[in-house]
């Protein structure tokens, strides 16, 4: 299993917009057979900071998601965030446990 954790820090003025977008993406992922589970967490000390956590069965499913329109919607939130969003991936790759941060490249 592979877990992707996306960190978003949007400031109090954009908090509801970010949360609504994350809920919409989560609803779509819940219907998608490749995603095992998607969760939204809020930082206990900063209500404008969110963690969007997704569990995927394998690299192929995650790669398909990263190239999907749904992920592009998530990347679109970057324009209203106070800090660039961060994508971290946890899982077994080639039988080695690793954690990696992926650079987010906006076109």
* Cα–Cα dist 60/40, whole Å: 23
Print burial letters for 34-62: b (CB count within 10 Å at least 16), e (below 16): ebbebeeeeeeeeebbbbbbbbbeeeebb
Q: Whole-prediction pTM value?
A: 0.83
Parse the chain into domains and list their residue ranges: 2-102
Q: Which residue has the tokens 């969110």?
A: 50
pLDDT in tens, 38-56: 999 999 999 999 999 999 9
- The DSSP result for 27-89, as a single string, is HHHHHSTT-SEEEEEE-SS-TTEEEEEEEESSHHHHHHHHTSHHHHHHHHGGGG-SEEEEEEE
CATH architecture assigned to 2-102: 2-Layer Sandwich (3.30)
pLDDT in tens, 56-99: 998 899 989 999 999 999 999 989 998 888 888 888 654 444 44
């Amino acid at each position: 299993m592979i877990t992707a954790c996306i960190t978003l820090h949007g400031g109090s003025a954009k908090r509801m917009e970010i949360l609504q977008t994350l809920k919409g993406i989560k609803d779509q992922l819940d219907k998608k057979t490749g995603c095992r589970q998607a969760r939204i967490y809020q930082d206990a000390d900063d209500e404008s900071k969110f963690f969007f956590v997704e569990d995927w069965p394998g690299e192929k499913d995650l790669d398909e998601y990263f190239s999907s329109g749904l992920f592009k919607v998530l990347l679109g939130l970057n324009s209203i965030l106070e800090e660039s969003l961060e994508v971290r991936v946890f899982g077994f790759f080639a039988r080695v446990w690793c954690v990696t941060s992926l650079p987010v490249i906006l076109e």
